[in-house]
Amino acid sequence: QWTAVDVYTYKHSHPASRPNTKALESTLIASSSAGLPDYNLSPTQGKFLALHCRTAGVTNSLEIGTLGGYSAIWLASENPKLRLTTIEYKLKHVQVARKNIELAGLSDRIEVIHGAGIDVLSRLREEVEAGTRPKFGFVFIDADKDNNWNYFKLSKGIVKPNSVICIDNIVRDGQLADFSDTDQYVMASRQVVQNVGKEPGVDSVVIQMVGEKSYDGWLWAVVN
Ligand code: DHB
Ligand code: MG
């Protein structure tokens, strides 16, 4: 029923504005045809993040883990004033994403940086500190899960006050709270939940989700 409810509510809510719908659908098809894993957000999740950025008036956003560009296209296509910097480690993903973004007509507002998250974030921090790059108003972390806590710490230093840092895939089918489970991604989720929860200058919550992406959830942190 989770998928049925996603499909039903998405159909009867306000979906992506046309012509963004086409670009989003084409992105999923092209990503799948190129052999990329099906780790994209659901349309409902993409819409939610885009609405958050609109409500918060986000003009500069950051993503770690581009994959085929689906979430990037959601954020930018639904927010005409939003710019996004998105970091991707795998060259093939970078190539597929750049093509999808170009076809969506968003190459002027989405910058795909090819590199390892830690390296690129360190460089972005230098640029922010040098004043050559503006601080970010929203960060979406959706990359190699082992580095979630590192990505969070680096992101925290380059966001404006009152910005959200959202981390995908935290709940992991409920394994998060099955303490007999010591899978490395589950351990990484626990590490980031516990560390963010103790971090000064931050307020946070984990929201569980079901839907067409099964059972998972986000860590939603606000940096004061
Ligand atoms: C995986 C990664 C993701 O970012 C996601 O949303 C779903 C699954 C994975 O590595 O298995
Ligand atoms: Mg994910």
**Helix (H), strand (E), coil (C) string for 24-50:** HHHHHHHHHHCCCCCCCCCHHHHHHHH
Task: Give the separation between CA 209 and CA 224, rounded to whole angstroms.
Answer: 25
Mutation to probe ligand 1, out of 42, 144, 167, 169 (largest number of atoms < 8 A from CB): 169
Residues 10-53 have pLDDT tens digits of 999 987 777 789 999 999 999 999 999 999 999 999 999 999 99
pLDDT at 6 over 90: yes
- For atom 9 of ligand 1, the residue with the nearest CA is 39
The total number of structural domains in the chain stands at: 1
99-136 per-position pLDDT tens digit: 999 999 999 999 999 999 999 999 999 999 999 999 99
pLDDT for res 16? 75
pLDDT classification of 73: cutoffs 50, 70, 90: very high
Is the Cβ–Cβ distance between 113 and 156 less than 8 Å? no
Residue ranges near ligand 2 (ion) with Cβ within 5 Å: 142, 168-169
Domain around 33: 2-223
Ligand 2 centroid vs 20 CA: distance in angstroms?
Answer: 21
Q: Is the ipTM beyond the 0.95 threshold?
A: yes
Mean pLDDT of the region 215-223:
98
Q: Which atom of ligand 1 is nearest to the CA of 142?
A: 4
Does 39 sit in the ligand 1 pocket, CB within 6 Å?
A: yes
Q: Which of 39, 89, 167, 192 to mutate to test the pocket of ligand 1 (most atoms within 8 A of CB)?
A: 39
Indicate whether residue 63 lines ligand 1 (CB < 6 A). Answer: no
Report yes or no on whether pTM surpasses 0.90.
Answer: yes
CA gap 133, 142 in Å, rounded: 22
The tens digit of pLDDT for each residue in 141-196 reads 999 999 999 999 999 999 999 999 999 999 999 999 999 999 999 999 999 999 99
CATH number (domain holding residue 42): 3.40.50.150
- Which atom from ligand 1 is nearest to the alpha carbon of 185? 10
pLDDT at 220 over 80: yes
